[in-house]
A and B are shown apart, each in its own frame.
Chain A
């Protein structure tokens, strides 16, 4: 798998990373190393093999529909970068 500059830029945008031109060769190598290693699994015979999503071979346990009072807002707000009247603030969102 060869990763090109365009791919790196597209993936960086999806992952929300800022990349400068000088970062690109490093990221190309970084991604290629992982993807090259991954490529060697192509030899595995996986025809009609069900993907294994979770090692725990059980089914989902469902929670009772009960609401719990928390009153932890202040605690959560205190670890936030910027809040106002309980709201988390971000630069203006244009819809």
Chain B
């Protein structure tokens, strides 16, 4: 049953092939077996109870869209009375007193919460190495990183330690680990999913999304987690589409844009895989045209101003007063603030807070923050122009397959360039997904599809079409090649 996709599991549960209890128990046993992957920060002790309750509901014919499906939450989502750490020492013992909207919505949809997955501290990182709880290992090669920041979620889905997982994506944090772990991950349009209860990194970039084996699986979860939330002023009132029933509808005359310069800079092996993906889609009636994205190259610099700036304010609340880590025996208020924050936050987080604080200071605001927000509009305008000609855009997700643990941890800039293909979707607020598109030296690598605003349906449909023709997404670590 662990080989099945979430969609198949729903059918099996419906047919009574096995119970939610059995499914959940199988995952728990598998998690035990793969403890060394370090995918989870904490497990839900009541998961089996929840599964039993789901089975009971099913026996009473009280159906729900995700009834009995074990889902893991990135440990950035607050769950009532459950430890929520954001991968930080600062929140090592933080028991959230409330639920994130994503958590309560998926629970409403019948999902079983199996545990909280490991992540880069406060979602700042691309390798999961900044986690206070130690790095996650890539199930395809344990000497390699799973990507980040949603590395625990990606690795857990890949190693079949849950049916699916939630993640968050600020500059690529769903798509890059999805690429490295050989799974499908979607960052929805900014505003599609409520950010209430999702611990903030950069408010105008953060967006939660599903991570699963297939696009079809992502569609089901996305439908359940999306929607307007009065608690999040930046969530959209636009009605949620029924991605699940729309995904298998035939897509006519779809035109996908290619931004050539992007392909030229690329590692030739990655480029070759992407070309193959394009050919595969062409075979299925999709056409490709070239587009211009003149300001694409400014995405990384703009991102590394906006994200640190917003995070510098978002993380001021970690002061040792009302919750979270407090240093021992502070001698005065300043000591309390300084030591609690210095001891409670990791190096990368502090680097970004420092840079962001600087970018917002009076003398530098215009040159950095304001400039970056202007650049952001240029990037958005480029996309708006492009989408007048095409329905979606294809791009690599990552410059390479998963790198080795420690390989880039002291090469800050190289680490930041991991996000080179992903940040522009965050800056513009567009939906984007990564789907498995092949292997390089036995390591999976993804292809990225960027959609128009609130058109998650189309990129999911394209990915689904691709996945009906390929089985990259079904290949499991340890079972391939």
Contact = CB atoms under 8 A, between A and B. Distances in A.
- Give yes or no for direct A-B contact (beta carbon below 8 Å): yes
Interface of A: 3, 7-8, 11-12, 14-19, 26-27, 29-31, 33-35, 37-46, 49-56, 58, 60-61, 63, 72, 75-76, 78-82, 88, 90-93
Contacts of A31: 351, 354-355, 358
Residue among B295, B332, B375 having the largest count of chain A Cβ atoms under 10 Å: B375
Contacts of A51: 370, 373-374, 376-377
Contact-residue bracket for chain B: 35 or more
Interface stretch (B46-54, B269-277, B299-307, B457-465): B299-307
B361 interface: yes
Given A33-B412, A79-B95, A38 B353 contact: no
B9 interface: no
B323 interface: yes
A54 B358 contact: no
A45 B372 CA distance: 11
B354 A17 contact: yes
B74 to A, nearest CB: 20
Given A49-B374, A55-B190, A17 B302 contact: no
Contacts, number: 176
A72 B97 contact: yes
Given A11-B358, A38-B305, A54 B332 contact: no
Interface string B153-174: 0000000000000000000000
B233 A80 contact: no
A54 B204 contact: yes
Contacts of A14: 357, 361
A79 B236 contact: no
Contacts of A3: 358
Contacts of A46: 371, 374-375, 378
B323 A49 contact: no
A34 B351 contact: yes
B354 A90 contact: no
Contacts of B430: 55
B236 A41 contact: no
Interface in B30-78: none
B459 to A, nearest CB: 17
12 contacts: A8-B354, A34-B305, A34-B308, A38-B355, A40-B297, A42-B367, A44-B374, A49-B374, A51-B376, A61-B237, A72-B97, A91-B335
Interface stretch (B104-112, B255-263, B338-346): B338-346
Contacts of A76: 97, 322
B387 interface: no
Given A18-B342, A37-B300, A44 B354 contact: no
A90 B355 contact: no
Given A30-B412, A34-B351, A92-B333, 15 more contacts: A8-B354, A16-B316, A17-B338, A30-B350, A31-B358, A34-B308, A35-B355, A37-B300, A38-B304, A41-B298, A41-B372, A51-B373, A81-B320, A81-B321, A91-B333
Contact of A44 (B326, B352, B355, B378): B378
6 interchain residue pairs of minimum CB distance: A55-B429, A51-B373, A30-B351, A81-B326, A46-B374, A34-B355
A30 to B, nearest CB: 4
Contacts of B378: 44-46, 49
B97 A79 contact: yes
